[in-house]
Amino acid sequence: MKKSILILCCVFTCFGINSNIEAQNTKRPNIIFLMTDDQRWDNMGCYGRSEFYTPYLDSLAAKSVVFDNAYYAVAICMPSRVTMMTGRYNSNHRVGFVAPDNYTLSQTDLAKTYPAMLKNAGYRTGFVGKVGFTVTENGQRPSIPKEHFYKENLGQTFDFFAGSETRPTKGLVLWPENDEALKEIYKPSRTNTGRTLKTGEAMLRFIDTQPEDKPFCLSVSFYAVKHDSDKHMYMPHFEQFKNEDFSVPENYVEGDNEKLPQVVKENARGVYLHRNRSSKPEQYQRLVRRFATQGYSVDDQVGKLIKKLKEKNLLDNTIIIYTSDNGRFQGSHGLFDKCLLYDESVKAPLIIYDGRKTVSEQSRREDALISSVDMAPTIVSMAGLKPANTMQGRDITKVLNQTQDLSQWRDAVFMEDLFLVDMFKAKNSNNPDALNQELIKNNKSYRARGVRTKKWKYFVYYEHEPKIEELYDMESDPLEQNNLANKSQYNSVLKQLREKTETYYSSITRF
């Protein structure tokens, strides 16, 4: 009799535990992290340029918190993506394109990313699109091996996966392997589809296969808006932009920009790419029309996502985060590309929608300083978890909820650029560290780090001898046209920001 009672107690206890787990799962929010590739922060209507037709994003933004002072801790794809997934600065995780910071991400570090932590806490996890970095058992160099082995290295982190290195035709891997509809999406013989539409279809497939009794975390990494050839675009979307004359930013430079530091003019990739791709007005218009086309294609997928979430009765318990991995100059400052620490490269679009809240509770612009390193701890916190002790960013949920005392919030964000194109060209060199030292010795390094406050932008090319500094009053000179670093009346500001930069750097590398 006692034995029977004990068994019944165990059964009821187990049922109780299962019920509690199910109840907890239904209460926890679903989280969707949407990231584009190389989308400049102002290339959408909700950030002030309606000529970039983004109706669904604009509608979402009207019901969301839209951040006006969000910045990338690093503004180039591989390290930026790792920063957002790990919550760690580039100089700390050291995953990047060029030596000496050209490591893969280790399995140990992957276990402390937001997808892995949510997966371990009972979330169903998915990834769709461009991975952009490599995971190996241990961190190793170089960071771009010939094969990535996504299933072996990411299979324990993601339940659903439709990803590849840099484009869908390069090493695409799909799972669950028995999902015939997922295979059909990426079937090579399909016509009149593009990479963005396929990414959107796979995103919706994840939603369609979502069990009702589990929360989910889906990371979608669009290949757009990077690249501008016909094969990368969905050409029917180009029709509305092909004759559009886009506005030209006031800091666009036709031809070479003589105001750039000499080390940048002589060595940075963005300079010669500008000469070839955006230095003439007609080149600028061609490129921007194509970036607008791809931005619209992404926007179209966002609209389909919202519709799907409503159909599935999931929107009211779903958080949507929209950002990019870095900006793009598009001819501003006489530059193409990204990396360098001017705002066109390092300023981020950031829209956060919370379906659990009313429009009146969250519809606003927010000017608190936010860093891309904040994404991982924030997502983890949204799921009701404690951020990993390795995460260096801040949880911004109190900023979102307007319960944060902003006088106690950060007064600056840290940013860095560790990319040298000469090192990238020699990425398969037998002795990259020797080449790195040679570039530094010959004053060809333009690596930089700095800080952005509400009023000031400061950064230094710290491997150059003598060091080259740039200082801008962002309130009176938001286009960064007048470098104040060599004006004696700003010596005290320069000293303060110089010290703040080095304090930040010391803390993130010592962490």
Q: Is the pLDDT of residue 511 over 70?
A: no
Q: Are 380 and 371 in contact (CB under 8 A)?
A: no
Residue 406 confidence class, pLDDT cut points 50, 70, 90: very high
Strand partners for 164: 130
Q: Is the pLDDT of residue 25 over 50?
A: no
Q: How many CB atoms lie within 10 A of CB 403?
A: 8
d(CA 298, CA 304): 10
d(CA 351, CA 45): 12
Q: Are 216 and 124 in contact (CB under 8 A)?
A: yes
Q: Is the pLDDT of residue 147 over 90?
A: no
d(CA 94, CA 363): 37
Best CA proximity match to 379, nearest among 400, 361, 363 = 400
pLDDT in tens, 197-224: 999 999 999 999 999 999 999 999 999 9
Per DSSP (E only), the strands in 325-388 are: 347-348, 351-354, 364-366, 370-371
Q: Is the pLDDT of residue 15 over 60?
A: no
CA R_g for the chain: 23
Asked whether the CA dihedral 155, 158, 162, 168 is positive or negative, the reply is: negative
Minimum mean pLDDT among 16-30, 102-116, 382-396, 450-464: which range?
16-30
Residue 289's pLDDT is: 97
Strand pairing category for 318-324 and 351-354? antiparallel
Residue 26's pLDDT is: 52
Residue 497's pLDDT is: 98
d(CA 344, CA 333): 9
Minimum mean pLDDT among 18-27, 110-119, 363-372, 501-510: which range?
18-27
d(CA 299, CA 322): 11
Place of tokens 């009146």: 360
d(CA 376, CA 353): 16
Q: What is the mean pLDDT of residues 85-94?
A: 98
Strand pairing category for 347-348 and 70-71? antiparallel
pLDDT in tens, 325-344: 999 999 999 999 999 999 99
Q: Are 94 and 103 in contact (CB under 8 A)?
A: yes
d(CA 308, CA 484): 51
Q: How many CB atoms lie within 10 A of CB 367?
A: 11
Q: What is the mean pLDDT of residues 490-504?
A: 98
Place of tokens 């999931």: 314
Please provide the DSSP assignment of 226-267 as one string.
S--SGGGS-GGGGTTTTT------TTB-SS--TTS-HHHHHH
Q: How many CB atoms lie within 10 A of CB 309?
A: 20
Place of tokens 């461009």: 130
Q: Which helix (H) or strand (E) holds 473?
A: strand 468-473
Q: pTM of the full predicted structure?
A: 0.94
Q: Is the pLDDT of residue 5 over 50?
A: no
Q: What is the mean pLDDT of residues 431-446?
A: 97
d(CA 408, CA 405): 6
Q: Are 411 and 501 in contact (CB under 8 A)?
A: no
d(CA 352, CA 350): 7
Q: How large is the greatest C-alpha to C-alpha distance in the chain, in angstroms?
A: 92
What are the CA-CA distances from residue 426 to residues 77, 97, 324, 433, 447 (Å)?
A: 19, 11, 28, 11, 17
Strand partners for 480: none
Number of H helices, E strands in the chain: 19, 18
**What single-letter amino acid sits at 34?**
L
Token couple for 336: 């193409």
Q: Is the pLDDT of residue 20 over 90?
A: no
Q: How many residues does the chain have?
A: 511
Domains, the chain, in order of start with CATH, read: 28-404 (3.40.720.10), 414-510 (3.30.1120.10)
Minimum mean pLDDT among 109-123, 246-260, 423-437, 491-505: which range?
423-437
Residue 453's pLDDT is: 98
Q: What is the mean pLDDT of residues 98-112?
A: 97
Residue 192's pLDDT is: 74
Q: Are 125 and 118 in contact (CB under 8 A)?
A: yes
What are the CA-CA distances from residue 252 to residues 51, 247, 261, 280 (Å)?
A: 17, 10, 17, 10
pLDDT in tens, 30-80: 999 999 999 999 999 999 999 999 999 999 999 999 999 999 999 999 999
Mean model confidence pLDDT for the chain: 93
